[in-house]
Amino acid sequence: MEKLFAVCDLDTFYVNVERLLDPTLIGKPVIVGGDPKGRGVVASCSYEARAYGVRSGMSSRDAFLLCPNAIFIRGHGEYYSYYSRLVKEILANFTPSVTALSIDEFLCDFSGMVGIECLYRTPEEVAKKVREKIYLQTGLRISVGMGANPLIAKVSASVAKPDGFIVVPEGQEAEFLAPLPMEKLPGVGEVIGEKLTEMGLRTIGDIAKMPLHILKSHFGKIGESLHAKALGGACGSFSESLVISSTENEAILSHPFCKSIGHEETFQDTADPTEILSILAGLCAEAGFRLREKALTTSLITLKLRYSDFKTVSMQEPVHCIFADEDIFAKAKELFNRLYTRRMPVRLVGVRLSRLTKNLHEIPLFEWEKRLKKRAFYQAVDEVRGKLGLKSALPLSAMRIKCSFSQPKN
């Protein structure tokens, strides 16, 4: 295959990282997410829990009702970020073209690298070596889907789960997709899925057989895109749309389409400003870590608050090309003091860094020396965090409010 793409999807990533940290969890129903007695949601669940009907995105309370013997874990975001970066580095040893679609999913371009006189003889050889290498170096299982375009690679990776691989030969894309449920097709969400079901469609093949003018009359340009995807086409710059619409976790910043970096945390309602600021300090430190990982600075900081009555407010303010945790937190704290006006319990806080750039030519000359010293300091701090986790090196701003970077108290 002249064109060859692979999507490498880590299986039940959060759960399997937790099992690396605590092997006693192996074989047991595990749910990573919020407190089942609170308002949290399921971030990830093991296949043992899925057997009871538990799914990612459902409330933790509903998950507990379905699987009362499940082990609930708050999660360790710093370890997830570490293993995600590690897997990306391993994949980069196979091909220089690796794009993070999310914290646990990566798009690799092997075009021109597979063939009799190439680096790898067959796509199957690539998939086997990738899976073996990642398991040997991390202990994590990964599913691999391969095809002539990113869409086929993504769909085949989802079909290959758990812990398998599928190679779709060029020219057989439509045949491969036809029997799959239409929900497997990227772009078919809950709303569009309901409308397609009302039209009597069930599989991707049904979408492919539907006359294009009918799909366009119901969905406009989206209908044209769905039809092209159902036939196995690359649908233009599909890889770009795939990246841009991916989840806002962690590894998203690794791709060239990164527009912003954000983190938010839902917790048990609290009106204690010190506790809220502690959580905010942790979010700012994680956002700063990700920002520096790509050698970026931010020129706009946005703070988001959600009260216990679900009213959500936000406020943003420009800053001058900052990258340090304490500078990010200082502005976020200032925004919090201005935004938190209702004096009632809060259930979510979030911070977002945008207007990201690598161009520092606007920084006054007299600030360069101070900037370079600060960057050198954070380079050392981030090396420690990369090896030992975010908790291993706390920013001074967080220490002043006694922030432990632990999960919010229940």
For residue 6, pLDDT over 90 is answered with yes
Cβ neighbourhood burial of 136 (10 Å; 0-12, 13-18, 19+): exposed
pLDDT of residue 302: 93
Task: State pLDDT tens for residues 186-229.
Answer: 888 778 888 999 999 999 999 999 999 999 888 888 888 899 99
For residue 239, pLDDT over 70 is answered with no
pLDDT of residue 218: 87
The more confidently predicted of residues 20 and 376 is 20
For residue 232, pLDDT over 80 is answered with yes
CA 6 to chain centre: 18
Query: Among the listed ranges 80-94, 309-323, 349-363, which one has the minimum average pLDDT value?
Result: 349-363
The more confidently predicted of residues 88 and 255 is 88
pLDDT of residue 157: 95
- Residue for token digits 């085949």? 156
Report DSSP letters for 356-371, one per residue.
-BS--TTS-GGGHHHH
Query: Among the listed ranges 154-168, 258-272, 296-310, which one has the minimum average pLDDT value?
Result: 258-272
From 48, 105, 286, 326, the catalytic residue: 105
- Residue for token digits 């002539």? 148
Whether the Cβ atoms of residue 173 and residue 148 lie closer than 8 Å to each other: yes
For residue 396, pLDDT over 50 is answered with no
The model's confidence at residue 337, banded by pLDDT at 50, 70 and 90, is very high
Query: Other CB atoms closer than 10 Å to residue 310's CB: what's the count?
Result: 9
pLDDT of residue 356: 83
- Model confidence, pTM: 0.59
Omega within 30 of 0 (cis) for the link into 162 = yes
303: which strand partners? 315, 351
Task: State pLDDT tens for residues 126-185.
Answer: 999 999 999 999 999 999 999 999 999 999 999 999 999 999 999 999 999 999 999 999
The model's confidence at residue 263, banded by pLDDT at 50, 70 and 90, is confident
For residue 299, pLDDT over 70 is answered with yes
For residue 274, pLDDT over 80 is answered with yes
pLDDT of residue 234: 57
Q: With CA atoms as reference, report the closest residue to 144 among 115, 106, 173.
A: 106
- Residue for token digits 């220490």? 399
Whether the Cβ atoms of residue 361 and residue 295 lie closer than 8 Å to each other: no
Q: What is the mean pLDDT of residues 81-87?
A: 89
Q: With CA atoms as reference, report the closest residue to 269 among 39, 34, 35.
A: 39
Mean of the per-residue pLDDT values of the chain: 82
For residue 380, pLDDT over 60 is answered with yes
For residue 198, what are the CA distances in angstroms to 202, 208, 226? 10, 16, 16
pLDDT of residue 191: 81
Amino acid occupying residue 188: V
pLDDT of residue 62: 93
Q: What is the mean pLDDT of residues 33-45?
A: 83
Q: What is the mean pLDDT of residues 367-373?
A: 58
pLDDT of residue 296: 82
pLDDT of residue 371: 61
For residue 256, pLDDT over 70 is answered with no
Respond yes or no: is residue 105 known to be catalytic.
Answer: yes
For residue 402, pLDDT over 70 is answered with no
**What is the rounded distance in angstroms from the CA atom of residue 322 to the CA atom of residue 353?**
10
Residue 290 DSSP one-character state = H
**What is the rounded distance in angstroms from the CA atom of residue 137 to the CA atom of residue 262?**
29
Domains in the chain, start-ordered, CATH in brackets? 5-11+78-176 (3.30.70.270), 14-76 (3.40.1170.60), 178-235 (1.10.150.20), 258-399 (3.30.1490.100)
Sequence-separated contacts (24+) of 154-160 with Cβ below 8 Å: 154/7, 154/101, 154/107, 154/186, 154/242, 155/180, 155/184, 155/185, 155/186, 156/7, 157/6, 157/7, 157/8, 157/9, 157/105, 158/9, 158/184, 159/184, 160/9
Ordered alpha helix ranges (H), 245-339: 273-293, 325-339
Q: What is the mean pLDDT of residues 228-243?
A: 60
Phi, psi of 182 (to 5 degrees): -60, -20
Phi, psi of 320 (to 5 degrees): -110, 85
144: which strand partners? 8, 165
Q: Give every strand in the sheet of 312-322, ordered side by side.
A: 260-270, 346-354, 298-307, 312-322
Whether the Cβ atoms of residue 194 and residue 178 lie closer than 8 Å to each other: no
Q: What is the mean pLDDT of residues 310-324?
A: 87
Whether the Cβ atoms of residue 389 and residue 79 lie closer than 8 Å to each other: yes
